[in-house]
C-alpha cells in the first residue's frame, strides 16, 4: 500500500499557486503567515497563549499556557475558565443574532434556515431539558442521531452544561453502540426515531433499543427526537420524546464555567489492537484549534457559506460542523443524506441552491462522483465556490485534478488537510492564499505545529522523499488528552518511542525537495475504508465471534472508490468449502460483520482456507496476505511458513 503511494506520487510535479484574485481576497497574506511561523518557532507557548487570548472569550483568564509536568498528559491553559457553547453562540448574539447559522437540508428535500438567535434558543431549551432529566457537569451522554440540526443542538447543549458527549455514528450497529455506552458509563442516550439515508429510513431508535436490551445499566434516560415518524416503541420508565422533554423549559440557560482541561467530548476510533478507544478532548485547546484552522485553512470570512459534508459521528463533523463554523460566527450547510440521492448531482445541487462558497469532503466521495461523469456537475451553477478541501485519506492526483478542474473550475485552491481524531484539528495543510499546492500532498505543517518525519531513532530524515514515521514533536492545544479510562494505553499507543517525547501519528510519510509532506499510509494494522478508520483486529474479532469461524485474518485491498476495501481470509470450523466457494456463508459473514460493527466494516472479499500463513512462531504473515489480496505475484520469502502449500488456497487457485 505504502509502496504504491510512493510510486504514484513521486511522478507528480505539477504546481498550483493561488490565483492573484484569490490571494487579494484572502485574510491571510504571505507576510502575516511568515510572522506566525516565526513567532511560533521562537516561542511556542507564547504563540499559543496569545492565540488563546485573542480567539477565546474566557470567563477567567488562564495563568499558565502549558503544564508539561505530567507529560504526555499535557494540560493547556491551566486554570482558565470558559464555556465552548458560549464561545459558539452567546458571543455571536450581539452582532450576528440574525445571521443564518445553519442551512439544513434533509435528504427528502426539506430545508430550514436557522439564525444564531434561534440556534441559541434551541440549545438553551434543550440544555435545560437535559438538566431537568438529571444530567449534570461531567456526566457522559451518548448521541446517536441522524445528520440533522438537532445532532448539533444536542452536542452544544451538552457543552453548555458541561456534560461530556460521545457521538456514535448512525451507521454503527447495536453492538458497537452498546460497547460505547458501556465504556463511557453514559447516563443518557439521545437518539431519533429514524434518519433519512440513501432513500431509506435508518431505524436508530430500534437499534438503540437492541443496544440497551442487555447491560448498559448506567443509562437512565433515552431522549428521542421525532424525525421520520416511523413506528417505534417507547419504554415508559426510560424513554421520553425530545419535544416532551423540552416542554416548559426556559429559553435561557447559563453556560457552565469549565476548566480549560475539562473534557468536552469522547469520540471512539479504531486502533491496531483491541476495541475502539475513546479519544478524549479538552475544552479550551480543542476549541482554539477549531477556530485557528477555520481561519488559516478555510480562510473563513463573514459572507461565506461553508459546507463540510462529514457526519457528526466522525471527528471532521465535530470540528468542522458542530464547533468550528459556529465559533467563528459562520453560516454552514448541514445535509442529512448521501451524495447520490436522488442522483449523483445532489452535492452540486446543494452547493448551487445554497450558494456554498467553501466545500469540504473526502476523496472517496470525489472519486465516486467523478465516476458519474463531468456532465452532472457541469449542469449546476458552481460559480459561488471559492475554496475546496479534502480530508481522511490520501487523494490520488487524478481525483485532485478532477476536483480542481471540474468542481473548482480551475479557480478554487484545494486544501488537502492531514489530521486525525486524536489531533482534533488540521495539522498539515495549505494556507490557501499563500501555499503553492501539489496534487496529492497536504503540503506543510501549520504555524505552531511541529510535524516531522523521523527514523526509528527519532532523528529527522533530511533526505528528500525518504519515508519514515510521521511525528509531532511539540504538544499542541487540540491534542488528545488521554484514552478514556485507559491512561496506560494512551501512553503506549501515542508515545511509545523517542523517550516518550514525540507524538506518534501512526502514519508513514515522506517530504519532498520543497519540504512538502506526502502521507504514505498507516504503519499499523489500521484500514482506511472510504476515509473511515477500521482496525483489522476489530473485524477479525467480529468474524471469529461467528459460530462457524475458527480463525480469520483481515487486510486492506486497494479499491478505486473506497481507497481500501476489507479483504478477509477465513478458516471455518470443519471443512473448507469445496473449491473455496460458499456463497451462502460469505453472505452470512458479511451480514454478521455489519451487525457486529456496521455496514462500513463488511468485507468485500472473503477467501476460505484450511489455515492461515503463519511463521513457525505462529505469527500471521500479513504482508503476504496483502500481496495476495492485491492479486500480485508473491516475491516474499515464504520458506519460514509452517505450511507453504496453503498459499494456493489463499490465492484462490486450489
Ligand atoms: O492515515 C491518516 C488518514 O486518516 C487517519 C486519521 O483517521 P481519523 O482519525 O478517522 O480522522 C480522519 C479525519 C481527520 C490518518 O492517520 N488521513 C487523514 N487525512 C489525510 C489522511 N491521509 C492522507 N491525507 C490526508 N489529508
Pick the CATH number of 530-651 from 3.40.30.10, 3.30.300.30, 3.40.50.20, 3.30.460.10: 3.30.300.30
Q: Is 23 annotated as a binding residue?
A: no
Which of 5, 271, 419, 438 most suits a substitution to test ligand 1, by most atoms within 8 Å of the C-beta?
419
Q: Is 187 annotated as a binding residue?
A: no
Which of 290, 420, 507 most suits a substitution to test ligand 1, by most atoms within 8 Å of the C-beta?
420
Name the H helices within 297-362: 315-317, 324-327, 346-354
Residue nearest to atom 7 of ligand 1 (CA): 420
Q: How far apart are the CA of 638 and the centre of ligand 1, in A?
A: 33
Q: Which atom of ligand 1 is nearest to the CA of 422?
A: 9
Least confident interval from 53-67, 252-266, 432-446, 634-648 = 634-648
Which of 392, 449, 507, 538 most suits a substitution to test ligand 1, by most atoms within 8 Å of the C-beta?
392
Arithmetic mean of pLDDT over the chain: 95
Q: How far apart are the CA of 420 and the centre of ligand 1, in A?
A: 5
Long-range contacts of 34-41 (CB under 8 A, 24+ apart): 36/447, 36/448, 37/447, 39/447, 40/447, 40/448
Q: Kindly calculate the radius of gyration of the chain based on its CA atoms and give it in whole angstroms.
A: 24
Q: What is the pLDDT of residue 11?
A: 61
| pLDDT tens-digit series, residues 552-600 | 999 999 999 999 999 999 999 999 999 888 999 999 999 999 999 999 9
Q: What is the pLDDT of residue 10?
A: 57
Which residues line ligand 1 at a C-beta cut-off of 6 Å?
269, 315-316, 391-394, 416-421, 442, 505-507, 519, 522, 528, 533
Q: How far apart are the CA of 472 and the centre of ligand 1, in A?
A: 15
Q: Is 259 annotated as a binding residue?
A: no
Residue 294 has what DSSP assignment?
H
- Torsion angles phi and psi, residue 532, rounded to 5: -105, 135
Structural domain spans, the chain: 20-508, 530-651
Q: Which atom of ligand 1 is nearest to the CA of 522?
A: 1
Q: How far apart are the CA of 391 and the centre of ligand 1, in A?
A: 7
Phi-psi region of 16 (alpha: psi -120 to 50; beta: other; left: phi over 0): beta
Q: How far apart are the CA of 218 and the centre of ligand 1, in A?
A: 33
Residue nearest to atom 24 of ligand 1 (CA): 394
pLDDT confidence band for 5 (50 / 70 / 90): very low
| pLDDT tens-digit series, residues 315-374 | 999 999 999 999 999 999 999 999 999 999 999 999 999 999 999 999 999 999 999 999
Q: What is the pLDDT of residue 6?
A: 41
| pLDDT tens-digit series, residues 480-536 | 999 999 999 999 999 999 999 999 999 999 999 999 999 999 998 899 999 899 999
Which of 363, 393, 446 most suits a substitution to test ligand 1, by most atoms within 8 Å of the C-beta?
393
Partnered with residue 390 across adjacent β-strands are 361, 416
**CA 309, CA 365: separation in Å to the nearest integer?**
10
**CA 81, CA 101: separation in Å to the nearest integer?**
25
CA 9 to mean position of chain CA atoms: 24
Partnered with residue 115 across adjacent β-strands are 100
Q: Is 392 annotated as a binding residue?
A: yes
DSSP 153-217: HHHHHHHHHT-EEEE--TTS-HHHHHHHHHHHT-SEEEEES-EEETTEEE-HHHHHHHHHTSS-T
**Helix H or strand E segment including 512:** none
Identify the architecture of domain 20-508 in CATH. Answer: 3-Layer(aba) Sandwich (3.40)
pTM of the model: 0.94
Q: Which atom of ligand 1 is nearest to the CA of 533?
A: 10
Q: How far apart are the CA of 68 and the centre of ligand 1, in A?
A: 27
Q: How far apart are the CA of 320 and the centre of ligand 1, in A?
A: 15
DSSP 610-639: SS--BBTTS-B-HHHHHHHHTTPPP-S--T
Q: If DSSP codes are grouped into helix, strand and coil, which group holds residue 377? A: helix
Q: How far apart are the CA of 309 and the centre of ligand 1, in A?
A: 15
Q: Is 530 annotated as a binding residue?
A: yes
**CA 248, CA 616: separation in Å to the nearest integer?**
69
Q: How far apart are the CA of 419 and the centre of ligand 1, in A?
A: 5
Q: Is 549 annotated as a binding residue?
A: yes
Strand order in the sheet with 605-608: 549-559, 563-572, 605-608
Q: Is 198 annotated as a binding residue?
A: yes
Q: Is the pLDDT of residue 144 over 70?
A: yes
Q: Is the pLDDT of residue 234 over 80?
A: yes
| pLDDT tens-digit series, residues 594-609 | 999 999 999 999 999 9
Which of 533, 535, 601 most suits a substitution to test ligand 1, by most atoms within 8 Å of the C-beta?
533
Residue nearest to atom 15 of ligand 1 (CA): 420
CA geometry: angle 423, 428, 430, nearest 5 deg: 140
Q: How far apart are the CA of 426 and the centre of ligand 1, in A?
A: 10
3 state SS for 401-414: HHHHHHHCCCCCCE
Residues 6 or more apart in contact with residue 24 via CB below 8 angstroms: none
Amino acid at each position: 500500500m505504502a509502496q504504491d503511494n510512493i510510486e504514484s506520487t513521486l511522478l507528480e510535479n505539477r504546481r498550483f499557486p493561488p490565483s492573484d484574485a484569490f490571494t487579494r481576497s484572502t485574510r491571510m497574506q504571505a507576510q502575516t503567515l511568515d510572522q506566525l511561523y516565526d513567532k511560533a518557532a521562537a516561542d511556542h507557548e507564547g504563540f499559543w497563549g496569545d492565540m488563546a487570548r485573542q480567539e477565546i472569550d474566557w470567563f477567567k483568564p488562564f495563568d499558565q499556557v502549558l503544564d508539561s509536568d505530567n507529560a504526555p498528559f499535557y494540560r493547556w491553559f491551566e486554570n482558565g475558565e470558559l464555556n465552548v457553547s458560549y464561545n459558539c453562540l452567546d458571543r455571536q448574539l450581539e452582532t450576528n443574532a440574525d445571521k443564518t447559522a445553519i442551512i439544513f437540508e434533509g435528504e427528502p428535500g426539506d430545508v430550514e434556515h436557522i439564525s444564531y438567535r434561534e440556534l441559541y434558543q434551541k440549545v438553551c431549551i434543550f440544555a435545560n431539558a437535559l438538566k431537568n432529566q438529571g444530567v449534570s457537569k461531567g456526566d457522559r451522554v451518548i448521541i446517536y442521531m441522524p445528520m440533522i440540526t438537532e445532532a448539533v443542538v444536542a452536542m452544544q447543549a451538552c457543552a453548555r452544561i458541561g456534560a461530556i458527549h460521545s457521538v456514535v455514528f448512525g451507521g454503527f450497529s447495536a453492538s458497537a453502540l452498546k460497547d460505547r455506552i458501556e465504556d463511557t458509563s453514559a447516563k443518557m442516550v439521545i437518539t431519533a426515531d429514524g434518519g433519512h439515508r440513501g432513500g431509506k429510513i435508518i431505524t436508530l431508535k430500534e437499534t438503540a433499543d437492541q443496544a440497551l436490551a442487555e447491560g448498559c445499566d448506567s443509562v437512565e434516560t433515552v431522549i428521542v427526537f421525532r424525525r421520520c415518524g416511523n413506528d417505534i416503541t417507547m419504554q415508559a420508565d426510560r424513554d421520553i420524546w425530545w419535544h416532551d422533554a423540552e416542554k416548559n423549559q426556559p429559553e435561557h440557560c447559563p453556560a457552565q464555567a469549565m476548566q480549560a482541561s475539562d473534557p468536552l467530548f469522547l469520540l471512539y476510533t479504531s486502533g491496531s489492537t483491541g476495541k475502539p478507544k475513546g479519544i478524549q478532548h479538552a475544552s479550551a485547546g480543542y476549541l482554539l484549534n477549531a477556530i485557528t484552522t477555520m481561519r488559516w485553512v478555510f480562510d473563513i470570512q463573514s459572507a461565506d457559506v461553508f459546507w463540510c459534508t462529514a457526519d457528526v459521528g466522525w471527528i471532521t463533523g465535530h470540528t468542522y460542523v458542530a464547533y468550528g463554523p459556529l465559533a467563528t460566527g459562520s453560516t454552514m450547510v448541514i445535509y442529512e443524506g448521501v451524495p447520490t440521492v436522488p442522483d449523483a448531482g445532489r452535492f452540486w445541487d446543494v452547493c448551487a441552491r445554497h450558494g456554498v462558497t467553501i466545500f469540504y469532503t473526502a476523496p472517496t466521495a470525489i472519486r465516486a462522483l467523478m465516476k458519474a461523469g463531468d456532465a452532472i456537475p457541469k449542469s449546476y451553477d458552481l460559480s459561488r465556490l471559492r475554496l475546496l478541501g479534502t480530508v481522511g485519506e490520501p487523494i490520488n492526483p487524478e481525483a485532485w485534478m478532477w476536483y480542481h478542474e471540474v468542481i473548482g473550475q480551475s479557480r478554487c485552491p484545494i486544501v488537502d488537510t492531514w489530521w486525525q481524531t486524536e489531533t482534533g484539528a488540521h495539522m498539515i495543510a495549505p494556507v490557501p492564499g499563500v501555499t503553492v499546492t501539489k496534487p496529492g500532498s497536504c503540503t506543510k505543517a501549520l504555524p505552531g505545529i511541529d510535524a516531522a518525519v523521523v527514523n526509528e531513532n527519532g532523528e529527522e530524515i533530511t533526505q528528500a522523499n525518504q519515508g519514515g514515521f510521521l511525528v509531532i514533536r511539540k504538544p499542541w492545544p487540540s491534542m488528545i488528552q488521554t484514552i478514556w479510562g485507559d491512561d496506560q494505553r494512551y501512553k503506549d499507543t501515542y508515545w511509545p518511542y523517542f523517550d516518550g517525547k514525540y507524538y506518534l501519528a501512526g502514519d508513514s510519510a515522506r517530504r519532498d525537495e520543497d519540504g512538502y509532506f506526502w502521507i504514505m499510509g498507516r504503519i499499523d494494522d489500521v484500514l482506511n475504508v472510504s476515509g473511515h478508520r477500521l482496525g483489522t483486529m476489530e473485524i477479525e474479532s467480529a468474524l471469529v465471534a461467528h459460530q462457524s469461524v475458527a480463525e480469520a485474518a483481515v487486510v486492506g485491498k486497494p479499491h478505486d472508490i473506497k481507497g481500501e476495501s476489507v479483504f478477509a481470509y477465513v478458516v471455518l470450523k470443519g471443512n473448507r468449502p469445496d473449491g473455496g466457494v460458499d456463497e451462502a456463508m460469505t453472505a452470512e459473514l458479511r451480514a454478521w460483520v455489519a451487525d457486529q460493527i456496521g455496514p462500513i466494516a463488511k468485507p468485500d472479499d472473503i477467501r476460505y482456507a484450511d489455515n492461515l500463513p503463519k511463521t513457525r512462531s505462529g505469527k500471521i504473515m500479513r504482508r503476504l496476505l496483502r500481496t495476495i489480496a492485491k492479486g500480485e505475484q508473491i516475491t516474499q520469502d515464504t520458506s519460514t511458513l509452517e505450511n507453504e502449500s496453503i498459499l494456493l488456497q489463499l490465492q484462490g487457485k486450489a
